[in-house]
Amino acid sequence: MKWLKRILVGLLASLMLAMAAAYLTPLDTYVPEVERALGEQLHEPVSIKHLRMAMLPLPHLELQEVRLGGKEGIAARLITAEPDLPALLAGKLVVRRILVQDGTASLVQVRKLVDSFAKTPAAGQRVALRELQLSGMRLLTPGMTLGPIEGKLEFAQAGELERAWFAMDEQKITVELLPLPEQHFSVKAQAHAWAPPQLPQMLLDDLQIEGVLGEQDFVARTGSTDSN
């Protein structure tokens, strides 16, 4: 039985080497093509430093040191894209999840992206996305930096946004958005023992606000606050 054990050990070693090689496989020769495709899809210049394919825990594509837009743009240390394997086997281009990690995003660029997606019909999108996650991102606004922010955007089968959720400061403040007709959103915000970055002396022990967010304004329906 020693020969069988040796064969199994050899096969395991070969498999581990193959997986390591797949993880380290550089795809940098495809970077210009990926940058061009993303730029056309997002209508903004895109730069990527490195492109890698990884197999664990599930097969996924890694985009390292990514930047979207100009000076007031979006930058991330790592973007991970996980394909939906059953959908791919069925001949459909579906991404199960995209995770954007450790970076900054200007409010100006975020607004441009939201407007762009709102004007692009779901049927016209080349690749279907099921979920977009954010981790360790900071939002740059005039006179203020918010974050780190974590979040999740969930999309329906047809590509429409179903739900958006954001949190900051270890989930001391959370915001949930649900889409409404005419590019409006139902908003529910909660804060517990949280102070605005520019007003550290204003501690919000318990804040709850619900309302409707439009293109230019926010209309509160209900709200309660307890601050010190």
For the chain, what are the domain ranges? 22-168, 170-228
Using DSSP bridges, classify how beta strands 128-129 and 94-106 pair: parallel, antiparallel or unpaired. parallel
Question: What sign results for the dihedral spanned by CA atoms 125, 128, 130, 131?
Answer: negative
pLDDT of 109 > 90? The answer is no
Structure tokens at 82: 């996980």
Longest Cα separation, the chain: 75
Closest C-alpha to 211, from 224, 198, 197, 195:
224
The H or E element containing residue 24 is helix 2-24
Q: How confident is the model at residue 72 (pLDDT cuts 50, 70, 90)?
A: confident
43: left (phi over 0), alpha (psi -120 to 50) or beta: left
**% of the chain beyond a pLDDT of 70:** 72
Mean pLDDT of 13-20: 46
- The pTM assigned to this predicted structure is 0.76
**What does the alpha-carbon distance between residue 88 and residue 58 come to, in Å, rounded to a whole number?**
14
pLDDT of 89 > 70? The answer is no
**What does the alpha-carbon distance between residue 67 and residue 118 come to, in Å, rounded to a whole number?**
22
77: left (phi over 0), alpha (psi -120 to 50) or beta: alpha
pLDDT of 78 > 80? The answer is yes
Which amino acid is located at 96 in the chain? Answer: R
DSSP code of residue 69: S
First to last CA, the chain: 74
Strand-pairing partners, residue 168, are 149, 173
